[in-house]
Amino acid sequence: MPILCGHRLCDSTLNRIVDLTLPLYADVPVRPGDPGVVMDELADIATEGYRLTHLSMGTHTGTHIDAPSHIIESGNTLNNISFDVLVGPCCLVNVAGEPESSITLDDLIIHKDVIRSTGRVVLKSGWAKRWGTPEYYSNSPSITIEAARWLTGKDVHVKLVGFDMPTPSVKQEIDIHKVFLEGGIPIVECLNLENLTQSHFEIVVAPLPLRNREGAPCRVFGLLNRSS
């Protein structure tokens, strides 16, 4: 007999929970120019009786969210992004994962119905396998501006988009960010989609509540049917 706590997320008869977050650790390679991840032990159990760590890192390190104010002067900050955007139905779309490959409108349009019905999409290129190496930050696949405009346009109009790469595009980075963020659509970057086996699931994106900031590290979960 499963033990049920009554909370939907903990109901083991309904869901399997998959962590869609990359691990964070001291000195993990970061994007060139970004501050490194520093974890200094300020207290230890032998001396102080407790353990405490000083953590320092950029707001766009590891699995994180870009709020509209990342690129747009008057754009929404983190605290203005509704939970209705961050939590809910989502679909997974597999895309090309070769270095410098393009994610095109043709790759997405065949999934139009499920993208439109869920309103959230994560694109899996397999790039997360490179996490922890400097190669993670160079030559990752890029979504085309046409595909990005389609996702934000009236045909599907997603409310949240996610990538398992450090950026939606290395080729037109600012322009592609603008397409999503000017449309008020937050971008989740550096997802780990390697263990996601179901194309239709529920996503939970939980950014740190950094007041008036343009982005933050997130814990991201996928809730799957238990049978998948």
- Residue ranges binding Zn ion (CB under 5 A): 60, 66, 189
Instruction: Choose between 157 and 213: whose C-beta lies nearer to Zn ion.
Output: 213
Q: Which residue is closest to Zn ion by CB?
A: 60
Instruction: Choose between 107 and 189: whose C-beta lies nearer to Zn ion.
Output: 189
| Contact (Cβ atoms closer than 8 angstroms) between residue 200 and residue 75 | no
State both tokens at 224: 């799957």
Question: In whole angstroms, how close is the CB of 214 to Zn ion at the nearest point?
Answer: 9
What sign does the CA torsion over 171, 173, 178, 180 have? Answer: positive
Question: In whole angstroms, how close is the CB of 3 to Zn ion at the nearest point?
Answer: 39
Q: Which residues lie below 8 Å from residue 153, measured CB to CB, with a gap of 6+?
A: none
Phi, psi angle pair for 145, to nearest 5°: -65, -35
> Which amino acid, 59?
T
Question: In whole angstroms, how close is the CB of 66 to Zn ion at the nearest point?
Answer: 4
Instruction: Choose between 164 and 189: whose C-beta lies nearer to Zn ion.
Output: 189
Question: In whole angstroms, how close is the CB of 141 to Zn ion at the nearest point?
Answer: 16
| Contact (Cβ atoms closer than 8 angstroms) between residue 133 and residue 27 | no
Instruction: Choose between 123 and 224: whose C-beta lies nearer to Zn ion.
Output: 123
Instruction: Choose between 215 and 222: whose C-beta lies nearer to Zn ion.
Output: 215
| Integer Cα distance of 150 and 185 in angstroms | 13
State both tokens at 153: 């346009």
Question: In whole angstroms, how close is the CB of 43 to Zn ion at the nearest point?
Answer: 32
Instruction: Choose between 19 and 173: whose C-beta lies nearer to Zn ion.
Output: 173
DSSP string computed for 21-63: -----TT----TTSPPPEEEEEE-HHHHSS-EEEEE--TTSSS
Question: In whole angstroms, how close is the CB of 104 to Zn ion at the nearest point?
Answer: 22
Q: What is the CA radius of gyration of the chain?
A: 18
| Contact (Cβ atoms closer than 8 angstroms) between residue 11 and residue 17 | no
